[in-house]
Amino acid sequence: MCGLCGLLGEDVHWSDPLGDELPRRRERLRRIAAINKVVAPFRLKVEDFQGVSYLLLGATGKQELASGLDQLWQRAEQLIGRPLDPLDERLLDHLEQHP
């Protein structure tokens, strides 16, 4: 547990913060902000849930909870009904146009 934030933390994942310069909660918010940039063109939004899970919000009001990044992508796919592909040219165009 992080003594500063009182977070139990997520499951261990390779993409976890490398150092401990920033408090864990802030690292988590940074990650969620980055994820939101990617999922925005699919009309999805991601919020933190108690510092352990991600809450995915769809445009039609559907919600999903996900634990860890791998599950997050899986749940996002279920919500939008197609793969969230980082090689999708429309997504790349969107990211370039909306820095």
Partner 1 sequence: MSIALNVITGFLGSGKTTLLKRLLQGETLGDTALLINEFGDVGIDHLLVEEVAPDTILLPSGCVCCSIRGELRDALTDLLQRRARGEVPAFRRILLETTGLADPAPILATINNDPHLRGRVHIGLVVTVVDASHAALQERLHPEWMAQVAAADRLLISKTDLADEDALRTLQLRLHSINPAPVLTTDSIQSGDQLLLGDGLHSSDPAQEVARWQLMGVRSTPARHGEAQVCCLTFERPLDWVAFGVWLSMLLRCHGERILRVKGLLNVNNSHAPVVIHGVQHCLHAPVHLPQWPGDDHRSRLVFIVRGLDTALLRRSFEVFSERLALAPREALA
Using CB under 8 A as the criterion, which residues of the chain lie in contact with partner 1 when the complex forms? 12-15, 17-19, 21-22, 26-27, 29-35, 37-38, 69-70, 73-74, 83-87, 89, 92, 95-96, 99
Which single residue is written with the structure tokens 């401990």? 20
If the CB atoms of residues 61 and 82 are measured against partner 1, the closer one turns out to be 82
User: For residue 48, with 0-12 CB atoms within 10 Å meaning exposed, 13-18 middle and 19 or more buried, which class applies?
Assistant: middle
How far apart CA 42 and CA 86 sit, in angstroms, is 12
If the CB atoms of residues 57 and 73 are measured against partner 1, the closer one turns out to be 73
Report residue 38 as tokens: 């990617």
If the CB atoms of residues 61 and 98 are measured against partner 1, the closer one turns out to be 98
